[in-house]
């Protein structure tokens, strides 16, 4: 009798990990947006074909497309991203309907977008500059020694670097930016700083007295772990607007709010920081 290999139970850890990976992929920005737009257009074309003979077929098809987009918003947490997911299809319908340009040419719009936002920059924040007065007063009330070497991790066009330069004009400023185009422009805007094109997560943060991040809430856990792993005791991680996740029991060592809705949160690295940073 031939021995049969036991079938893997459907709920084995491998299956579970596979499912988690698939779920994570669908939530990874901008995957839900792209899939929402593609599926909305597919549903639009399908419904239009099916109900072609009826009056208002076009309207039903657009509504079906919008409803398809709405389903995808369930995978997205941020309000802005939900708007992008939901608004992409109706906007493209308006643009296509209001021009003689064939629908496929809108895909070309993705090329400049790709140049500005190469794949690695998608998971963290897109360009959203530090507002002019957000860091005002930071150096004045600073509880430690003035930082001598500062890194803006994901420096965009250099607005954060300018604000930091205003606070600590004698500090050596560095910026790292994933988008080559933004890094090039930031070099022109900020001749006082050294700006490199690269991945802030791959860069070494150990040489800096202060690392400044203005990313997304979801980036903060990674930033916190990296800062704790690489930065020296007594140095600082500073975040504009976003706190570390609630399961990291660590209140900021210093806070400032010069601009409503844009708190500056600062944590001092060191043994205390590591001891307190245990997850709940
Ligand atoms: C919200 S903007 C902040 C820009 C700048 N720090 C400021 O405050 O004005 C975030 C920037 O981080 C960049 N970015 C996102 N992920 C990155 C990564 N892995 N490495 C380097 N830059 C990244 C984005 O391209 C974007 O320019």
pLDDT in tens, 134-186: 999 999 999 999 999 999 999 999 999 999 999 999 999 999 999 888 999 99
Domain membership flag for residue 203: yes
The predicted pLDDT at position 60 comes to 84
Domain membership flag for residue 123: no
Tokens for 133, please give them. 């007065």
- Sequence length of the chain is 280
Count of the separate structural domains present in the chain: 2
Ligand 1, atom 6: nearest CA belongs to which residue? 155
User: Of 92, 116, 140, which residue sits at a domain end?
Assistant: 116
User: Of 116, 139, 167, which residue sits at a domain end?
Assistant: 116
Same domain, 175 and 230: yes
Same domain, 197 and 90: no
Domain membership flag for residue 270: yes
Same domain, 168 and 224: yes
The backbone region for 148, taken as left when phi is positive above 0, alpha when psi lies in -120 to 50, beta otherwise, is alpha
At residue 51, what are phi and psi to the nearest 5 degrees? -105, 25
Long-range contacts of range 198-207, CB-CB < 8 Å, 24 or more positions apart?
Answer: 199/120, 200/124, 200/153, 200/154, 200/176, 201/226, 203/151, 203/153, 203/176, 204/230, 205/151, 205/153, 205/230, 205/231, 206/230, 206/231, 206/232, 207/149
- How many beta carbons lie within 10 A of that of residue 120, not counting itself? 14
* pLDDT tens digits, one per residue of 201-252: 999 999 999 999 999 888 999 999 999 999 999 999 999 999 998 888 789 9
What average pLDDT does the chain have?
84
pTM of the entire predicted model:
0.69
Same domain, 33 and 88: yes
Domain membership flag for residue 2: no
Ligand 1, atom 23: nearest CA belongs to which residue? 154
Cα 191 to Cα 32: distance, rounded to the nearest angstrom = 38
Q: How far is the CA of 246 from the centre of ligand 1 (A)?
A: 23
* Ligand 1 nearest-atom number relative to CA 152: 6
Range of the domain at 17: 13-116
Domain membership flag for residue 135: no
Domain membership flag for residue 211: yes
pLDDT at 98 over 50: yes
User: Of 71, 94, 116, which residue sits at a domain end?
Assistant: 116
Lowest mean pLDDT among 54-63, 70-79, 167-176: 54-63
């Amino acid at each position: 009798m031939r021995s049969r290999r036991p079938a893997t139970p459907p709920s084995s850890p491998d299956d579970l990990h596979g499912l988690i990976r698939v779920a994570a992929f669908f939530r990874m920005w901008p995957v839900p947006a792209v899939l929402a737009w593609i599926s909305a257009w597919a549903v639009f074309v399908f419904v239009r074909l099916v109900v072609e003979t009826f009056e208002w077929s076009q309207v039903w098809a657009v509504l079906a497309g919008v409803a398809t987009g709405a389903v995808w918003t369930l995978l997205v947490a941020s309000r802005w991203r939900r708007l992008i997911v939901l608004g992409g299809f109706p906007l493209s319908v308006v643009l296509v309907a209001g021009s003689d340009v064939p629908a496929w040419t809108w895909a070309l719009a993705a090329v400049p977008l790709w140049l500005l936002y190469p794949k690695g920059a998608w998971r963290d924040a897109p360009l959203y500059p530090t507002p002019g007065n957000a860091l005002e007063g930071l150096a004045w009330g600073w509880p430690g020694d003035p930082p001598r070497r500062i890194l803006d991790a994901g420096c965009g066009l250099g607005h954060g670097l300018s604000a930091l330069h205003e606070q600590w004009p004698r500090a050596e400023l560095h910026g790292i930016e994933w988008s080559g185009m933004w890094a090039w422009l930031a070099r022109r805007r900020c001749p006082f700083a050294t700006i490199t094109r690269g991945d802030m997560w791959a860069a070494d943060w150990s040489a800096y007295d202060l690392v400044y991040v203005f990313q997304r809430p979801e980036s903060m856990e990674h930033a916190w772990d990296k800062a704790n792993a690489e930065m020296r005791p007594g140095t600082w991680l500073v975040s504009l607007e976003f706190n570390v996740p609630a399961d990291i029991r660590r209140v900021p060592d210093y806070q400032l709010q010069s601009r409503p809705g844009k708190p500056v949160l600062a944590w001092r690295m060191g043994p205390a920081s590591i001891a307190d940073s245990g997850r709940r």
